[in-house]
Structure 1
Amino acid sequence: MIALNLPPYEHKIKKKDDKLFIFDILRKKYVFLTPEEWVRQHFVHFLINKYHYPKALMKAEGGLKYNNLPKRTDLVIFDSVGKPLIVVECKDVYVPITQAVFEQAARYNYILKAPYLIVVNGLSYHCCRIDHASQSYQFLEDIPMYISPVLS
C-alpha cells in the first residue's frame, strides 16, 4: 500500500483468495483492504495515539438515513454520553480534499449534528468546528485533543 502522511503502526494484514484484508481494531475483525480502508485504519490509530480518543467511543462504517437513502459514515467518534462528537470522512490518497468532499461529509453530519467534522485522504486532513445553530463552520489549525470527563 502507499505510504501515508500519518504515523505508521503495526498493522495486521492477511491474504485470502488473492485479496488483502486488514485487521480493524474497532470492528475487531479483518476487513477488505481498500485504499480508503488503509487511510481509515491509519487515522483511527493516529486519533488514539496522538489525540487520546478512546477506541470504545469510535464506530467505523456506521449506518444512517439521508433523504430516506441508506448511507454509511466512515468514522464517528462519540462523546462520553453517546452523542456524536466528530464525523470523519476518509478518502483514498488520490482523491483530493475538495469542497465536494466536505459537502458529502456535511450531509452526513446534518443528520448526526456532531460539532466537529474531519476530512482525511492520508496525505492531509482538515478539521472544522460546526455551529449548527448558525449553520456556520470554522476551520481549526488542529484536531481537538480528547478530554476525559471528570467523574464526581
Structure 2
Amino acid sequence: MKEVLFKEKFPQLNLPECNPRITEEEGRLLIFDSIRKKHLVLTPEEWVRQHWIYFLVEKNQYPKGLLVTERGLTYNKLQKRTDILVRNQEGAAYLLVECKAPNVPINQKTVDQAAIYHFKLKSNFLILSNGFSHIFLKYDFSKNQFLQEKNLPKAPFSH
C-alpha cells in the first residue's frame, strides 16, 4: 500500500504513537495484537484498538493479563463483541473501551452500543474513542447513571 494511502486510512491518532508490527500477507495488511498474540487484518477500527492497547499497557501500566479484546457476549439473542475489556484482579469488568474507526463520529449510537455492553458486564468505566475524540465515563451505581470524567481511570490494582 502506498504510504500516502496508508496515512489517509491509518492516520496519526490523538493517542501516543505505538509503532505496531505490521506485515503484508496475500495482499492484506496485518497488525500484531499483543493481547491475543496473533496477527489480525488491519482495519481502521483495529488501528484504533491497537493504539488503545498500547496506551493502556505501556503508558498507563494496565497489566496486560487483565485485558481481553473482542470478547463475545449475547444481548437480546444478538451476538456482540466488546473491543477492549479490562478486568480487575477479582475478574470483574473494570473498564470497557469501545473503539470506532477514525472517520466514525462518536455519537449517541456509540453511547447506546457501549451502554449495552455495560448493562451486561457492569463495568465501572467506559471509554468511547475513534482515535481522535475520547469520551471517559464513570458509572455511578448508586444513581444508576454515567458521569463524564476528564481523564483515563487509574489501572485496576493498588500498590
Higher alpha-carbon deviation: 48-57 or 116-125: 48-57
Aligned match for 1:130, one of 128, 139, 145: 139
State the alpha-carbon separation in 1 of the partners of residues 21 and 74 from structure 2.
32
Equivalent residue pairs, number: 150
**Alignment-derived partner of residue 3 in structure 1:** 12
**Alignment-derived partner of residue 57 in structure 1:** 66
TM-aligned CA deviation for residue 108 of structure 1: 1.2
**Alignment-derived partner of residue 86 in structure 1:** 95
Where do 1:29-68 residues align within 5 Å?
29-68=38-77
Query: Does residue 101 in structure 1 map to residue 110 in structure 2?
Result: yes
Work out whether residues 106 and 129 of structure 2, in 8 Å CA contact, stay in contact via their aligned partners in 1: yes
Work out whether residues 76 and 86 of structure 1, in 8 Å CA contact, stay in contact via their aligned partners in 2: yes
Calculate the aligned-residue CA RMSD, in Å.
1.2
Work out whether residues 88 and 156 of structure 2, in 8 Å CA contact, stay in contact via their aligned partners in 1: no
Query: TM-score, normalised to structure 2's length?
Result: 0.90
Q: State the one-letter code of the partner of 2:135.
A: H
Q: State the one-letter code of the partner of 1:20.
A: L
Aligned match for 2:124, one of 96, 115, 132: 115
Show structure 2 runs of 5+ residues with no match.
Answer: 1-9
TM-aligned CA deviation for residue 133 of structure 1: 4.3
Q: State the one-letter code of the partner of 1:103.
A: D
Q: 1:82 to 1:147 in 2, by over 3 A?
A: closer
TM-aligned CA deviation for residue 134 of structure 1: 2.6
Query: Does residue 15 in structure 1 map to residue 24 in structure 2?
Result: yes
Q: State the one-letter code of the partner of 1:93.
A: P
Offset from partner CA, 1:79-136 (integer Å, 9 cap, x none): 0110000111000011111121111101111000001011010112111111234321
Show structure 1 runs of 5+ residues with no match.
Answer: none
Percentage of matched positions with identical amino acids: 41
